[in-house]
Amino acid sequence: MHPYDGIQIAMPTKHGKAAVIKKAFNQFFPVDIVEINVDTDLLGTFAGEVERIDTPLETAINKHQLVSGYEYTISSEGSIGSDPAIPFLISDYEILVFKDHKKDLTIIEAHRSFEIKAFKKEIFLGENIEETLEQYDFPNHSVIVKAPELTRISPFKGLKNLEAVNQAIEDVAKVSKKIIIESDLRANHSPSRMENIYVTAQKLAKRVNTLCSACQTPGFGLKSYEKGVNCTFCKRLNPEVINSEILGCVKCDFEINGQVINKEIAPDKCIWCNP
């Protein structure tokens, strides 16, 4: 029996994430996840009315402070934009943080995916946008219509039909020549993002399910990386290339070697052969 069998976990969210996270956890052990309807928008919004000032991880951790009186809490935070490694592609980076407040444990997992429907486009009144909307799976994925200057008029969010979109465009056009239409990336308005949250939850649940063999604490998993890989051609060491995973405990110092990622690298990736 797992130490967390049957626990109740509180989740601060307004965006319907608890169901998919519960589904992921229940693949490993039974839990109940209760949504606590608090204003997580205070920490930042996708539409831009509230700027997120902290990192995604810091924001996810800060969300735990929005609820009290629960022994177990879980939070989610996502960042969607140009991928840091492949800037011409859009990626979705999701973070989930589980906290056991009684044992003072924090267990974190993250997942990056290119499987995300996301766009942002500047348009003018009367422009045909139906092709763009269809390309990004509207109306399954909602959209936002707003002015570049958000102080002039509040964004129109959660738009799910063409009539509502056109009306929002007309309303914004009354105060701004420039009109922006973009994906509504709140999880309950973005099925592709919700799927990425589910995958992240599976990773987190698997990690929470894994006990440290030294101290039996939940959350054993990826801790860091061993770096340093030789080139297949010149045989010289590339010190910043990841060689393998280091798996560790979130409580004690126990570590083991994990999966080997690169035994060696090709010359086109070598800093000596291809500086």
**Max intra-chain CA distance, the chain:** 66
Kindly give, in sequence order, each residue whose CB lies less than 8 Å from that of residue 257, ignoring residues fewer than 6 positions away. 226, 244, 245, 246, 247
pLDDT of residue 266: 97
Question: Is residue 60 within a helix (H) or strand (E), and if so which, with residue range?
Answer: helix 56-63
pLDDT of residue 182: 98
Kindly give, in sequence order, each residue whose CB lies less than 8 Å from that of residue 221, ignoring residues fewer than 6 positions away. 109, 206, 207, 210, 247, 248
Distances (CA, A) of 58 to 5, 143, 154: 28, 27, 27
- Peptide bond before residue 139 is cis, with ω within 30 degrees of 0: yes
Asked if 26 contacts 204 with a C-beta cutoff of 8 angstroms, the reply is no
DSSP 210: P
Name the residue type at position 74.
I
CA distance 224 to 275: 26
Overall fold of domain 7-116+190-209: Maf protein (3.90.950)
pLDDT of residue 152: 86
> Mean pLDDT for each 10-residue chunk of the chain (275 residues)?
96 95 98 94 88 94 95 97 95 98 97 98 93 96 95 94 97 95 98 98 98 98 97 97 97 96 96 94
Where do the structural domains in the chain lie, given as residue ranges? Answer: 7-116+190-209, 120-183, 223-269
- 223 burial level (CB within 10 Å; 0-12, 13-18, 19+): middle
pLDDT of residue 190: 98
pLDDT of residue 48: 87
Overall fold of domain 120-183: Dna Ligase; domain 1 (3.30.1490)
Residue 114 phi, psi dihedral angles, 5° rounding: -95, 0
Q: Where are the alpha helices (DSSP H) in 76-190?
A: 130-135, 162-173
Q: Quick one: residue 16, left, alpha or beta (phi over 0 = left, psi -120 to 50 = alpha)?
A: left
Distances (CA, A) of 171 to 145, 155, 167: 10, 10, 6
CA distance 144 to 179: 11
Token pair recorded at residue 8: 């109740």
